[in-house]
Amino acid sequence: MERKLWGTAAGKQVELFTLDLGQGNSAAITNFGAALVSLYVRDRSGEVADVTLGYDSVQEYEQCTKYLGVVVGRYANRIAGAQFTLGGKEYQLAANDGRNHLHGGPGGFAKRVWDPEVISTETGEALKLSYFSPDGEEGYPGNLQVEVVYSPTGTGGLRIDYFASCDQDTVLNLTNHAYFNLAGHGSGPILDHELEICADFYTPADAESIPTGEILKVEGTPMDFGSKTAIGARIDADFCQLRYAGGYDHNWVLRRTGSGLELAARVEHAPTGRVMEVLTTKPGIQFYTGNYLDGVAGKGGAKYEWRGGFCLETQFFPDSPHQAHFPCPILRAGERYAHSTIYQFSTK
């Protein structure tokens, strides 16, 4: 694995690691925000392109407000009213998305320097990133030890394993916030990508992107990606959920048969032949179409315009601490949090 000094943040050394994924693919990861900086993937003709949005420097990640490629936590997505009750005690969080809490708050995991370690796995060298989140950080209870492991799948893909334990009951929902564009980052809108999501239901949200608590069928609505459909086919439909979010920014309820890794979504880009499959152990996936990208200055002078990237964030459902019928995001004291996601690549 290649590694180089990339800068400093909060008085700590920040490095950039290049992970060989095999089959000509590779990933660049930094220990600032545990961020996936670049993901180089071959197309059907063997040409390599970087298919994730990102930045060229640590300073840009420090200032980033779009969460490009970072690990977010303690709680990915939104918690209504920036508070939750656990064990009869109310915990107040930062209101950093209107009156609500988003992606762990302004001092969440995306803004922390993680401790790196190169480790060996059956599929090759991997990168383990560790972070200790003290009791009360961003308002959350308990001393939490977190590990994120980036490793090759052995077949050209990238695997992310999330582990954690805490000395108190807490809520935890970790994900990676990578934005993808299979044409190559900075290549314009992703509306021609064809998407399939393995879900029959989704959780509708209000105008603040907070789930209403309903679990509705996707059938007969623009939320139906049960079969391969262009992202742009219905994105501007006269449908309240799309009007609220300015496009897609919703949680789908994945069809699951067990607790292991299962296919959650598949994306195809016909012009290049690139195919990405997302597998996960999580119960939900947030599909987001870059509705708030607004000419962000990215890597290599690229400009990330509106709908210039899409996210497929594997997760517990948004605002689950307030929705008892959603899958439970509580990590009990002494228990082990362990979830995995794979981004697998191929061509057709």
pLDDT in tens, 165-187: 999 999 999 999 999 999 999 99
Q: Using an 8 Å Cβ cutoff, are 262 and 256 in contact?
A: yes
Q: Which residue has the tokens 């995306």?
A: 110
pTM of the model: 0.97
CA distance 55 to 335: 36
Q: Is 177 designated active site?
A: yes
Q: Using an 8 Å Cβ cutoff, are 338 and 162 in contact?
A: yes
**Contacts of 243 by beta carbon, 8 Å cutoff, 6+ apart:** none
pLDDT at res. 58: 98
Q: DSSP labels for 29-61?
A: EESBTT-EEEEEEE-TTS-EEE-B---SSHHHH
Q: What SS3 state is found at 313? A: strand
Q: Which of 137, 138, 147, 177 is catalytic?
A: 177
pLDDT at res. 232: 98
pLDDT at res. 347: 97
pLDDT at res. 77: 98
Distances, alpha carbon 95 to alpha carbons 50, 99, 136, 320, in Å: 34, 5, 15, 17
Q: What SS3 state is found at 328? A: coil
pLDDT at res. 225: 98
Profile the chain (348 residues) by mean pLDDT over runs of 10 residues: 97 97 97 98 98 98 96 98 98 97 97 98 96 98 98 97 98 98 98 98 98 98 98 98 98 96 98 98 98 96 98 98 98 98 97
Q: Which of 137, 138, 268, 313 is catalytic?
A: 313
Distances, alpha carbon 275 to alpha carbons 3, 216, 288, 298, 345, in Å: 28, 28, 18, 23, 6
Bridge partners, residue 173, by sequence: 75
- Could you give phi then psi for residue 61, rounded to 5 degrees? -70, -35
Structural domains in the chain, CATH included, are 2-347 (2.70.98.10)
Closest to 93 in 3D by CA, of 139, 141, 143 = 139
CA distance 177 to 231: 18
Number of helices (H) and strands (E) in the chain: give both, helices first.
2, 29
Q: Is 313 designated active site?
A: yes
CA distance 101 to 213: 17
